[in-house]
Amino acid sequence: MQSQNAYLREWLGKRSAHLHHILSLEAPPGDGLCTNCSLNPAIWRCLECFGRPTHCTECCRTQHSKLPLHRIQCWTGKFFTPAWMRQVGVVINLGHGLDPCPVGGAHAPQYDQDNDTEDLDDPWEDKPLKAGRTDENGNVMFVIVDKSGIHHIPVRWCQCPGCPEKDIQLLSVDLFPASYDRIQTAFTFHVLDDFLLDNLECKTSAYHYCSKLARVTSPVFPHTVPVSLMKPFSNHVIDRKDRIGIRN
């Protein structure tokens, strides 16, 4: 078996080529057309779909209607800048397997192609994006805390007669509501479980885990991410530990 040093020496000869190739991945691939429809220019790149495919707005929205918490980037003409699914027009539809509720049909998202990159400047400053406000289709804007960062995304409730309570609708898609009266914040089961694992194996405190989430959300400006998460986060973790039978 090779020693670690031997592996490193072997790598040194390849370092420049690797770096060059990694940097070349920062440009839009190939002809710059959507990898799905090959018709429109690809301006969105999904960082979480395997192979980081680039899509046009329409394809990005349809491909992610059931993957609304993927992190994306937008091509500005010179580089890819961080962006969010809400800018593509993705809405979380509750109650029908993530398809739009037929009762709320009047509020179906009408996405305006011209507004593609409108709110790219500062996603935290834009008024309609604050939690509790509604988007242009009347859907309530949610803060959803996931392992992939803190998302602001519209949620469309199921409004069928006899539909479950809002908190139950959220639980059905693995979202844990942070309150019950006017729900505007939810945590994914994924992030709560990930914290328990980090807490168990890495001894991460809730405070430090929240710092990490802020850093994941905005690597350069983590302080611009709302930090009032700490309290609901700790309470959630206690709830979840109770629920899955962990006591410390």
Distance CA 171, CA 136 (A): 25
Q: Which stretch binds other proteins (CB under 8 A): 13-21, 109-117, 130-138, 225-233?
A: 13-21
Shortest Å distance, C-beta 23 to other proteins: 4
Q: Which stretch binds other proteins (CB under 8 A): 3-11, 116-124, 138-146, 178-186?
A: 3-11
Whose Cβ is closer to other proteins: residue 25's or residue 197's? 25
Q: What is the dihedral of CA 215, 207, 167, 90, to 10 degrees?
A: 0
| Helical residues (DSSP H) of the chain, grouped into ranges | 4-12, 15-24, 57-63, 85-88, 166-172, 189-201, 206-217, 230-243
Q: What is the dihedral of CA 130, 133, 138, 140, to 10 degrees?
A: 80
Shortest Å distance, C-beta 4 to other proteins: 5
Residue 4 makes contact with other proteins by CB under 8 A: yes
Shortest Å distance, C-beta 7 to other proteins: 6
Residue 15 makes contact with other proteins by CB under 8 A: yes
Total site size for other proteins, rule CB under 8 A: 10
Distance CA 55, CA 67 (A): 14
Residue 79 makes contact with other proteins by CB under 8 A: no
Q: Which stretch binds other proteins (CB under 8 A): 18-26, 45-53, 144-152, 237-245?
A: 18-26
Residues contacting 122, CB < 8 A, separation 6+: 224
Residue 18 makes contact with other proteins by CB under 8 A: yes
- Contacting other proteins within 19-38 (CB under 8 A): 19-20, 22-23
Distance CA 170, CA 127 (A): 24
Q: What Rg value do the Cα atoms of the chain yield, rounded?
A: 20
- Which residues of the chain form contacts with other proteins (CB under 8 A)? 4, 7-8, 11, 15, 18-20, 22-23
